[in-house]
Amino acid sequence: MRDLSVTLIQCELAWEQPADNRQQIGGIIAGLEAATDLIVLPEMFTTGFSMNALGNAEPPGGDTEQWLHELATRLDCALAGSIAVQAEGGVYNRLLFATPQGVTHYDKRHLFRMAGEHNRYLPGADRVVVRWRGWRILLQVCYDLRFPVFSRNREDYDLALYVANWPSARRLHWRQLLVARAIENLACVVGVNRIGSDARGLDYSGDSMAIAADGSVLSDMTNENGAARVILSGAALQNYRESFPCQLDADGFQLD
């Protein structure tokens, strides 16, 4: 299993200004000093965590999806981040995973009721694992992090991605749950959050991190603005799983 280079993009987001946010993020990406296999952006990176679902929603294949695919093709890498997309009877908080070969997606299953997200967006139904450069990658969005059964490793993924707009008031939960998901699933975890404040006055501390399967923190951006690149070791992941195979004693379960 080869190594995977992952770049975390942590920045402020202009409220409901997709073009401005694409330009800002594009500038950060243009300044990267080394090639990367995967670039991870925050949740709702074009608008911030807005409940103006219909006003912000793009159609499938819209401007942002095309932008991601063009970047993936030009940089020969994958990019992941969520936006609001109107499709199939409503609006979804949709995590797009773009590669030079095309764009796949995961629709956020657990909608954050404390902000009314469940009243403005439709929940996704399917758990999604994508394959990229020899790695199996589970796609997750923000509030999904609190539900370990949904993200339980069925020996079907190597890396879990969490993209988020996670407020600083609950940063302890974010940081500890990311580490817990890595340890309990014998998988690498990458969580990317935003910084700054949004139009509702919520503050975001960032704390974007990359974590090895044994819970070791490989990268911690704290409140930094910009990009951080980390190498996930395929050999280290395989060796750890072989030396500590607790998955062999895991309980069976089914999702309703």
Catalytic residue (choose from 58, 77, 108, 188): 108
Question: In the chain, which ranges are continuous DSSP H helix?
Answer: 18-30, 53-56, 63-75, 117-120, 171-185, 234-243
How far is 13 from 165, CA to CA, in rounded Å?
10
Catalytic residue (choose from 11, 58, 65, 142): 142
Note if 142 is an active site residue. yes
Residue with tokens 């969005």: 141
Q: In what order do the strands lie in the sheet with 4-10?
A: 102-107, 90-99, 78-87, 38-40, 4-10, 226-232
Note if 58 is an active site residue. no
How far is 42 from 191, CA to CA, in rounded Å?
9
Note if 77 is an active site residue. no
Catalytic residue (choose from 43, 58, 65, 117): 43
230 to each of 67, 83, 89, 156, 199, how far by Cα in Å?
Answer: 24, 24, 39, 22, 32
Give catalytic residue positions: 43, 108, 142
